Amino acid sequence: MESSVRIAAFAWLSRQVSIHGDVLPREMLAKGFEFNGERVPLLGPQGIFKPRLLDIPLSITTVANGPYLDEPDQAGNWLYRYRGTDPHHRDNVGLRKAMEQRVPLIYFVGTIPGRYSVVFPVFITEDYPERLTFRVMAEDMNFLKDDQDAVISEADVGRRRYLNAVVRVRLHQRGFRERVLSAYREQCACCKLRHLELLDAAHILPDLDPEGDPVVSNGISLCKLHHAAFDSNILGIRPDYTIEIRKEVLEEKDGPVLLHGLQELHQAQIILPKSRNFYPDTKCLETRYKEFQNC
């Protein structure tokens, strides 16, 4: 039963991720799926969650802006805080059993309140009672055996570290996207398009720029068309939040997409977040606008 429920949970999550992407709403995860006529939620009020059908926890959760500071260690693995300060609390004992029996878990990482990036499978690989933390490591689904044991030999350290680095980058990108889109009320700042599947969080200054911090004020919610135009410097945004379209593009004639999608935006104002704290940083826009002018 334990193994069957866990396999069913992974399969259900895989389907949801293929449909909705790997950031999912809490209500969907709390509702979960049906197994042999019984509802199996995937998370609950507490960070370490075990549904009634299981003896070992199914998932761990980090809430956006929550009370626990769960963070990578020097090797890039996550350090997940105990529940409370008692190493013998049943939830902490449950994760210890998961570690000893190499039982795979699901990790839900909060991006904004009510939405979670999904990472699975993960394993508890170390227990640090003196620090009240467990070490968590992501693994590839292809490295799970049918009996749910994990292939985690020491010879595979390089592969596992690479995988965890990729997962950290993905979580960083998803978190930035969710925060930016939420600030802009899930619409394109240029054309008001509201289809989430067609929206991106565009960096004003890129990650590699010394000033390119992953904060909302260095991002703008753009649809895929306007994101590509912005990245290609076909579309520029002045520090006063006015849109400009490159001169030669304004003079082209190439059908309704060019006319309505780009040319008619020239000299329009972008849509701004409700909170001034999330307005695009004018210094970042000035730097980026100079690049646009030089193209």
Domains of the chain: 2-180 (2.30.280), 186-293 (no CATH)
Q: What are phi and psi of 252, to 5 degrees?
A: -75, 160
Contact status, residue 49 vs residue 57, Cβ threshold 8 Å: yes
- The torsion of the CA quartet 159, 164, 169, 172, rounded to 10 degrees, works out to 180
Which pLDDT belongs to residue 230? Answer: 97
**Distance separating alpha carbons of residues 230 and 242, to the nearest angstrom:** 13
Which pLDDT belongs to residue 71? Answer: 60
Which of 258, 257, 255 lies closest to 246 in space, CA to CA?
258
Which pLDDT belongs to residue 165? Answer: 72
Which pLDDT belongs to residue 166? Answer: 75
Tokens representing residue 169 in the block? 């980058």
Q: What does the pLDDT profile of the chain (295 residues) look like in tens digits?
A: 788 999 999 999 999 999 988 899 999 999 999 999 999 999 999 999 999 999 999 999 998 765 554 565 656 668 899 999 999 999 999 999 999 999 999 999 998 999 999 999 999 999 999 999 999 988 876 665 544 444 445 556 666 676 777 777 778 788 899 999 999 999 999 999 999 989 999 999 988 777 778 899 999 999 999 999 999 999 999 999 999 999 999 998 888 889 999 999 999 999 999 999 999 999 999 999 999 999 8
Which pLDDT belongs to residue 156? Answer: 63
Model pTM score:
0.76
Contact status, residue 206 vs residue 212, Cβ threshold 8 Å: yes
Which pLDDT belongs to residue 162? Answer: 67
Which pLDDT belongs to residue 151? Answer: 47
Which pLDDT belongs to residue 21? Answer: 87
Contact status, residue 234 vs residue 245, Cβ threshold 8 Å: yes
Which of 235, 149, 126 lies closest to 189 in space, CA to CA?
235
Which pLDDT belongs to residue 171? Answer: 80
